[in-house]
Amino acid sequence: MTIKKLAIGVGIALAVLIAAVWWLFFWGDTPEAVDVDAANAQLDVDLAVATDDAPAAAPDPFDGDINATWLVDDEIGEFDFETASGSFAGFRVDEELTVPYGDVVAVGRTGGVSGTVTIDGGRLTGTDVTVDMGSITSNDSRREFPIRRAVMANEFPTATFVLTTPVDLPAGLADGETVTVDAAGDLTVAGTTNEATFTIDALLRDDGFGVITGSATITWEDFGVTPPNAPIVVSIDESGIIEFQLIVAKG
């Protein structure tokens, strides 16, 4: 075999390897960021196609009183990475890949979310939300082990967010209006706790369900997390977005 043929063969093999790494870790449509209106519309779809596998009973219609402990519903809908159905939490991070791929957004999500949101006296007074880090998924199952390893899911199987400062809620929430507030609390990921402030959008529906979405920017190093890497990756942003979508009902 001539040196020229050998070089061509090596070049082809390298191109195939790069393409395989791209397909394995980065290929696929990136789901949109959480959005309360989109979540509300998806809930209508989920309720319309509900079957015997759906929750045994719908909540009581909303009575106009927002003060209650609201439970995260983990049964409505069926968590789907693409359609963002039901309650879920996850992350988004910007990456730069080698030519010709350029900039992409990597996303991981899990429907393993449970907890409560407490409103008292017209104020958000407590959140206790737990996320199953061992069930993080992407649009290709082969990406999932590197993601779970990066967040040390075997050692720290859950992440949590606990509100530390009560938040006054706009009066329009009781009238079905979408409201936006900032909520500060303790975010624990990979066994490390730091303060994080989530921007939260929420609305309450006439049928008794509430829809809440939120996001916060964090620095991975602050939580001891090293994002997974590959030869095709030029850089990964040192910060990323933690996001969630919660369907809730009065307890």
Taken in order of first residue, the domains within the chain and their CATH numbers are 30-250 (2.40.128.110)
Ranges 93-102, 182-191, 210-219: which has the least confidence: 93-102
pLDDT digits (tens, 9 = 90+) for 189-231: 999 999 999 999 999 999 999 999 999 999 988 998 876 665 4
Coil, strand or helix: which one is 195? strand
Ranges 2-16, 66-80, 82-96: which has the least confidence: 2-16
pLDDT at 26: 43
pLDDT at 108: 86
Torsion over CA of 95, 98, 99 and 104, rounded to 10 degrees?
Answer: -20
Banded pLDDT at 4 (limits 50, 70, 90)? low
Residues 6+ apart with CB under 8 A from 161: 127, 129, 185, 186, 187, 188, 196, 198
Can you give the pTM of this predicted structure? 0.82
Percent of the chain residues topping a pLDDT of 70: 75
Q: Note whether 178 and 198 are within 8 A (CB).
A: no
Higher pLDDT, 250 or 56: 250
Average pLDDT score over residue span 45-58? 69
Higher pLDDT, 58 or 50: 58
Q: What is the mean pLDDT of the chain?
A: 83
Rounded CA gap, 244 and 33, in Å? 9
> Judging by DSSP bridges, how do beta strands 233-236 and 88-97 pair with one another?
antiparallel
Residue 105 has pLDDT above 70, yes or no: yes
Ranges 52-56, 205-209, 242-246: which has the least confidence: 52-56
Banded pLDDT at 233 (limits 50, 70, 90)? low
pLDDT at 22: 40
Q: Where do we find the tokens 């779809």?
A: 45
